[in-house]
């Protein structure tokens, strides 16, 4: 009964989404207010029905209804209730339904768009809200259709098995319960800026207006995507047992590409809100969501082999490719037709614009590097018959050096004065003003070169540039705080994000440059020794959980001869799926982490592996700062719009409408 109700709700949501997507056509039958009201009502019905379908799937997992194929393949009677609920999105069908539900929830943002009272800049501004509802309804219709016809979560098994196959053991982890929803929120959040951009182009709205409407939702999506990537990296760090936080796995790369483009998009929209680089900003708004769709298509088709991938399903892959092609052809064709008419500031470029443009070009270039490295092996096998692998070496040579060029620009942009003509005198004046940053950079290079000559020059420059960015970001805050009244939240968000970037680069470089690993076959009472540290294996005993049994070691960590902690690594066996996993024990401190893994063993002893990872906690701290910076920037934009203000939010008084104004009444109605 529950499954039947869920299936009917999914079909009703599909019909409502189709009604919403036809919003612009209703203008031939109704007035603009009536057509808009119809599209809004259809959106609410679609959201409610999608929520009902997802709740029905949750209840099916809670009750272990093995008559549903997805429950039988991803649950077990010994699985705890919490993991049964998390299993709802730990599979292809459930994760796609959650993706669609988040899309329906995010679509509510289109309800905040209101036509201007006086028509604004013509019919474009007046029709933009209805166009946005229609475009977002089209996306929702495509994904509901995909879920219903190619990925039905309520497909039946006849006869129903008495027991399920269990949830993938590596997914039975708290981080994996929150990582997919947060990542999907970032992916789907990018659909809002895509929708607003496509709808604005379709309605022939002003480019600056489109940028200002899309900007806050881009910030929110970027924050969610950052949190999703950080949670996934944290999970890989402690759960997979490899001791690393990034492995250039194909699906990791697929999530990184939209994040890079979204980062460029956040900055570009801030500039476009002042009439700069309008066409480029809108193009990035389209590309960000298209890359999110590419990630969805590649993972769910089984096209790329990864620990994250779902089962191979060619029909699903072709359907997802059709959705990607439809969205891409529609939006990029629309951009090509409308881009020549987008207005930008006619004032000559200043120094701020020059450095800003370089950074905006670097970020999509980095995404292109990742795209090539991810899909080149597939293309080589498909067209040349060659089996190739692109590993960490490619990214170390192509991605890392190019990414370091972002750091100087990130420090120079906030301090380069706007409205000053690009000249040699202004460039020299800005460089001289950054003398504290240059001093810190030189000091870092000298100290690292003298004390740690074994470190590569690339790592030395990464450390020096991160210190430079940190100093310059804090100096920016000190210099501009007093003159940024009313916009201090935006300034704080910008500086916090740049400080977080500096901390991330510094800690990532230290973590990769000074890590080490020790391994030994130990009998009870023996020690594995390392500089200033020791690890004694006391015992290995059997323990049991809800749906697993394990061998658990007791390893005592000593520092300078003093006992500091007791670590309990495990080797788990999940009988239902016959899968063995390694559960790493971690001793985490402010400056370093120790990973302890328990390998195979027997009468001769047990293999104990110890990994040293410095400054790992700083990675998670910097990622948290980035998320907070994005949330702070989003709140700053919302509060200023409620107060009737606009601009880029970084505290500069000369930012508003430089080279072009906007009909304020056509922007977001946050009430």
pLDDT digits (tens, 9 = 90+) for 441-454: 899 999 999 988 88
Provide the pairing of β-strand 527-530 with 533-544.
antiparallel
Q: Among 263-267, 397-401, 430-434, 534-538, which is the least confidently predicted range?
A: 430-434
Q: Among 50-54, 285-289, 455-459, which is the least confidently predicted range?
A: 455-459
pLDDT of res. 433: 67
pLDDT of res. 307: 46
pTM of the model as a whole: 0.90
End-to-end CA distance of the chain: 40
Report the DSSP beta bridge partners of residue 611. 517, 595
Q: 23 near 137, Cβ under 8 Å?
A: yes
Report the DSSP beta bridge partners of residue 559. 533, 562
Residue 423 has pLDDT above 70, yes or no: no
Q: 540 near 598, Cβ under 8 Å?
A: yes
pLDDT of res. 271: 85
Report the DSSP beta bridge partners of residue 566. 556
User: Confidence class of residue 315 from pLDDT cuts 50, 70 and 90?
Assistant: confident
User: Confidence class of residue 302 from pLDDT cuts 50, 70 and 90?
Assistant: low
Residue 87 has pLDDT above 70, yes or no: yes
Cα 169 to Cα 83: distance, rounded to the nearest angstrom: 10
Residue 121 has pLDDT above 50, yes or no: no
Q: 659 near 274, Cβ under 8 Å?
A: yes
Tokens of 315: 């029909």
Give counts: helices (H), strands (E), the chain: 20, 10
Give 134-169 pLDDT, tens digit per residue: 999 999 999 999 999 999 999 999 889 989 988 888
Q: 68 near 156, Cβ under 8 Å?
A: yes
Give 647-670 pLDDT, tens digit per residue: 444 444 333 333 332 222 233 332
Cα 40 to Cα 38: distance, rounded to the nearest angstrom: 5
Q: 74 near 87, Cβ under 8 Å?
A: yes
């Amino acid at each position: 009964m529950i499954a039947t109700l869920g299936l009917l709700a999914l079909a009703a949501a599909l019909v409502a989404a189709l009604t919403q997507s036809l919003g612009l056509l209703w203008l031939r039958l109704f007035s603009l207010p009536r057509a808009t009201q119809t599209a809004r009502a259809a959106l609410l019905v679609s959201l409610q029905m999608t929520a009902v379908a997802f709740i029905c799937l949750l209840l099916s997992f809670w009750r272990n209804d093995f008559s549903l194929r997805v429950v039988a393949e991803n649950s077990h009677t010994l699985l705890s209730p919490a993991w049964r609920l998390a299993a709802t999105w730990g599979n292809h069908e459930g994760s796609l339904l959650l993706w669609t539900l988040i899309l329906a929830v995010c679509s509510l943002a289109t309800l905040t768009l209101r036509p201007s009272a006086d028509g604004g800049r013509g019919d474009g501004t007046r029709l933009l809200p209805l166009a946005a509802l229609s475009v977002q309804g089209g996306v929702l219709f495509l994904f509901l259709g995909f879920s219903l016809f190619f990925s039905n979560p309520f497909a039946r098994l006849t006869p129903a098995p008495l027991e399920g196959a269990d949830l993938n053991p590596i997914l039975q982890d708290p981080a994996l319960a929150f990582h997919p929803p947060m990542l999907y929120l970032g992916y789907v959040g990018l659909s809002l800026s895509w929708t607003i951009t496509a709808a604005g182009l379709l309605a022939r709205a002003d480019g600056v207006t489109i940028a200002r409407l899309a900007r806050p939702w881009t910030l929110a999506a970027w924050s969610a995507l950052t949190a999703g990537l950080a949670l996934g990296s944290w999970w890989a760090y402690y759960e997979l047992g490899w001791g690393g936080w990034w492995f250039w796995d194909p699906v990791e790369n697929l999530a990184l590409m939209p994040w890079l483009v979204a980062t460029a998009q956040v900055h570009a929209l801030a500039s476009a809100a002042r009439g700069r680089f309008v066409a480029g900003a809108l193009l990035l708004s389209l590309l960000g969501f298209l890359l999110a769709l590419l990630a969805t298509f590649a993972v769910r088709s089984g096209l790329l082999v990864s620990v994250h991938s779902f089962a191979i399903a060619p029909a699903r892959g072709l359907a997802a490719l059709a959705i990607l092609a439809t969205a891409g052809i529609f939006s990029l064709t629309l951009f090509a037709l409308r881009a020549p008419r987008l207005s930008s500031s006619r004032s000559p470029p200043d120094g701020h614009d020059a450095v800003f443009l370089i950074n905006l070009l670097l970020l999509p270039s980095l995404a292109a590097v990742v795209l090539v490295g991810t899909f080149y092996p597939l293309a080589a096998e498909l067209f040349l018959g060659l089996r190739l692998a692109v590993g960490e070496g490619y990214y170390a040579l192509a991605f890392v050096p190019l990414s370091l060029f972002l750091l100087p620009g990130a420090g120079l942009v906030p301090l380069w004065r706007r409205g000053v003509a690009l000249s040699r005198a202004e460039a020299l004046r800005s460089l001289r003003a950054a003398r504290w940053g240059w001093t810190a950079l030189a000091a870092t290079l000298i100290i690292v070169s003298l004390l740690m000559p074994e470190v590569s020059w690339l790592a030395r420059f990464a450390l020096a540039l991160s210190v430079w960015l940190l100093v310059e970001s804090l100096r920016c805050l000190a210099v501009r705080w007093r003159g940024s009244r009313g916009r201090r939240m935006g300034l704080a968000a910008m500086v916090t994000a740049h400080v977080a970037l500096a901390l991330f680069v510094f800690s990532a470089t230290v973590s990769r440059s000074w890590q080490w690993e020790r391994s030994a076959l130990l009998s009870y009472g023996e020690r594995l020794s390392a500089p200033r540290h020791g690890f004694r294996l006391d015992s290995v005993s059997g323990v049991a959980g809800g749906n697993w049994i394990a061998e658990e070691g007791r390893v005592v960590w000593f520092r300078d001869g003093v006992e500091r902690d007791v670590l309990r690594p495990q080797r788990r066996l999940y009988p239902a799926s016959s899968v063995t996993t390694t559960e790493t024990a971690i001793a985490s401190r402010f400056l370093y982490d120790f990973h302890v893994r328990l390998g195979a063993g027997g009468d001769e002893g047990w293999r104990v592996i110890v990994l040293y990872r410095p400054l790992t906690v700083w990675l998670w701290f910097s990622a948290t700062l980035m998320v907070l910076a994005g949330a702070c920037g989003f709140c700053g934009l919302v509060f200023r719009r409620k107060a009737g203000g606009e601009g880029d939010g970084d505290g500069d008084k000369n930012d508003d409408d430089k080279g072009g104004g906007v009909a304020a009444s056509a922007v977001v109605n946050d009430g």
